[in-house]
Structures are given as C-alpha cells and as structure tokens.
Amino acid sequence: MIRKKARLLKTSGRFDALLKKYHIPAEALAINRRAVSKAVAVGLFVALIPMPFQMLAVVLLFPVFRYNVLIAIAMCWLSNPVTMPFMYYIEYLTGNWLLGRKSVENVQLSVDWFQSHFDNIFLPLYTGTFFYAIILSPLAYLLVNRLWIHSVKKAHRQRSER
C-alpha cells in the first residue's frame, strides 16, 4: 500500500524536484523491500540505545547502510519519554543478569539519585542495551523482509485469480 501511494507522488514530478532542490539522495526516501527492512533495523538499533540525538545518529548512519531515513527516524521514536523508563529498566536488569550482578536497591527517579549511582548503572545498562539491540535489530530486519515478500506474493496471487 505504501508503495502505491509513493508511486502517485513520484509520478507528479514534485518528488524529483524536492530531491534536486535539497540535494537529497534518492535512496534516502526509497520505498523498496531492502531500504525499508534496513531502515527498521537501524532505527530500532538506535532507539534501543540510551543516548541523546538519536535521530541525528540515524541520519549519520545513512551513508554506511543506505536505507529509508524517514522510516528509520520514525523507528527511533519508539524510545520516547513514555517508553524510555520501561525500556531502559528492562535493559538494566538484563545487563545485571548477563554480568551476574545485583540490581541497585531503592531506585528513585531523580537526577541526584542517578548521578550518585551512575557508576553502578552504566555498565549493566549498556550491556543490556547492546544485547537487545544486537538481537532485536536483525530479527526486525528479517520480519519486515518476510512480511514484505509475503504481501507481494499475496497481491500477485490475488491479481492472478482475477
């Protein structure tokens, strides 16, 4: 469905004018199986890492992996102020489990508490972060890839039945 909408936009000529005007590579907005699958994987990987400027990181990774930047940025929004505490706490607990450490007791959501416990939190948090990022990003890539192939085959079957 998204490809059909993009084709309508592309045939109008406004799309090509936009790319030329702002010197945007066509691959940055490509809507094909590989570009979208890579975008989901890269966006999810960056979203799982607790760092500032996640969207900037997605844009800076574009020359290396070549994906749809808009979809990757949208995937970054999975880590938002509502989901961050839950995601990072689960990553922290997983990191502690992987490192064989005990969790910090009496967690408080204040800047002072985090500053005083930063040394105890940093290593387990990033261990859990990279564990989930390395596991979930390739799985997301494969899932989107398979779903795309399945939807194309289904559409082809429906066309041939008519």
pLDDT digits (tens, 9 = 90+) for 9-29: 555 677 677 777 767 777 777
Which residue carries 């596991």 as its tokens?
135
Q: Are 45 and 76 in contact (CB under 8 A)?
A: no
Which two structure tokens, joined as six digits, stand for 40? 């989901």
The helix or strand, by DSSP H or E, that contains position 1, with its residue range, turns out to be none
Is the pTM for the entire model greater than 0.85? Answer: no
The predicted model gives 4-11 an average pLDDT of: 57
